[in-house]
């Protein structure tokens, strides 16, 4: 009797599952028809159109190595050797601009101009340094710190049109990068009477920045595009803040800052764009 009493409940669940399946199937069918209906039709010419793009992806950050040498007030020589390295991280960003076609003789060419902001994930820089009056009595240290970069650019993009829905493009941008260096740490395996090395404050370095890119956008509907591309960015230099040596609760400033050579980013970017 218990099983018979549960039959209506089982039937109700089956009916609900069937309704849910039919809803998903109907949504997928309608979406397929809508997309199929737009294929072969490029967006109508409307003069200037506002465009907003959201993008994200993968970035390979390249840090070029650099050797630096400083003379302290007590004749100590501070020598720093930063390692050349390639670090992998992510990125996200936003583009706001206008799309237009000033070439009446070639309606398949499109142009975009606007501003772009990119946020890169954190990555570690490392190196070694020695402190001492002469190499025989110098102390060897290893250091690392975190670098996080942001980029703000004015961007121009040229798009061609092929098969009415595909838009291969080239892009270029110039502007500024904001490289934040922080969390400096220092260690040595030597013990006893060692030469003290400075720590460095956190610091935001503003540098000239640029980007070059290429890729492909595809019309999904009259107003929506998706795409993927490659982009190379020069992020400029980065720098830590003032250095100081702590000894018996006394901070002694060293008078120099530790900086890196140029930072570059190779990026694989995926974007979605909406035209209004």
Residues β-bridged to residue 231: 213, 267
Q: Determine which of 33-47, 57-71, 137-151, 246-260 has the lowest per-residue pLDDT on average.
A: 33-47
What's the pLDDT at 13? Answer: 39
Q: Compute the distance between CA of residue 237 and CA of residue 63 in angstroms, rounded to an integer.
A: 10
> CA 65 → CA 68, 144, 178, 242, 267, distances in Å?
10, 13, 20, 21, 21
CA dihedral 188, 66, 121, 177 (to 10 degrees): 140
Q: 3.40.640.10, 2.40.160.20, 3.20.20.105, 3.30.530.20: which CATH number matches 48-275?
A: 2.40.160.20
Q: DSSP state, 136?
A: G
Q: What is the pLDDT of residues 124-164, one digit of tens each?
A: 888 999 999 888 889 999 999 999 999 999 999 999 999 99
What burial class does residue 258 get, using C-beta atoms within 10 Å of its C-beta: 0-12 exposed, 13-18 middle, 19+ buried? buried
Q: What is the pTM of this model?
A: 0.79
Q: pLDDT confidence of 2, banded at 50, 70, 90?
A: very low
What's the pLDDT at 38? Answer: 41
Contact 92, 56 (CB under 8 A): yes
Average pLDDT over residues 16-31: 40
Q: What is the pLDDT of residues 209-263, one digit of tens each?
A: 999 999 999 999 999 999 999 999 999 999 999 899 888 777 888 888 888 878 9
Q: Compute the distance between CA of residue 168 and CA of residue 174 in angstroms, rounded to an integer.
A: 21
Average pLDDT over residues 25-48: 45
Q: Compute the distance between CA of residue 252 and CA of residue 257 in angstroms, rounded to an integer.
A: 14
Contact 114, 164 (CB under 8 A): no
Mean pLDDT score of the chain, rounded to an integer?
84
Residues β-bridged to residue 131: 78, 139
Q: pLDDT confidence of 75, banded at 50, 70, 90?
A: confident
Q: Compute the distance between CA of residue 186 and CA of residue 133 in angstroms, rounded to an integer.
A: 20
- The domain locations on the chain are 1-38, 48-275
What's the pLDDT at 69? Answer: 87
């Amino acid at each position: 009797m218990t099983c018979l009493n549960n039959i209506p409940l089982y039937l109700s669940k089956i009916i609900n599952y069937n309704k849910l399946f039919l809803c998903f199937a109907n949504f997928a069918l309608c979406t397929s028809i809508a997309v199929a209906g737009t294929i072969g039709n490029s967006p109508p010419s409307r003069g200037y159109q506002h465009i907003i793009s959201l993008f994200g992806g993968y970035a390979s950050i390249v840090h070029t190595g650099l050797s630096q040498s400083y003379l302290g007030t007590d004749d100590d020589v501070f020598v720093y050797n930063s390692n050349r390295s390639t670090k992998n991280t992510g990125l996200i960003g936003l583009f706001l601009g206008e799309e237009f076609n000033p070439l009446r003789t070639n309606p398949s060419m499109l142009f975009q101009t606007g501003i772009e902001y990119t946020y890169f994930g954190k990555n570690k820089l490392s190196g070694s340094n020695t402190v001492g009056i002469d190499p025989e009595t110098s102390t060897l240290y290893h250091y690392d710190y975190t670098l996080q970069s942001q980029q703000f650019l004015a961007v121009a993009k040229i798009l061609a049109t092929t098969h009415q829905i595909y838009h291969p493009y080239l892009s270029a941008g110039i502007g500024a990068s904001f490289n934040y260096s922080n969390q400096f740490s220092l260690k040595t395996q030597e013990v006893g009477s060692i030469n003290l090395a400075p720590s460095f404050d956190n610091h935001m370095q503003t540098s000239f920045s640029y980007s070059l890119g290429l890729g492909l956008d595809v019309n999904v509907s009259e107003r929506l595009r998706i795409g993927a591309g490659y982009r190379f960015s020069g992020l400029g230099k980065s720098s830590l803040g003032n250095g100081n040596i702590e000894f018996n609760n006394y901070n002694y400033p060293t008078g120099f800052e530790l900086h890196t050579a140029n930072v570059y980013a190779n990026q694989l970017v995926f974007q979605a764009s909406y035209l209004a």
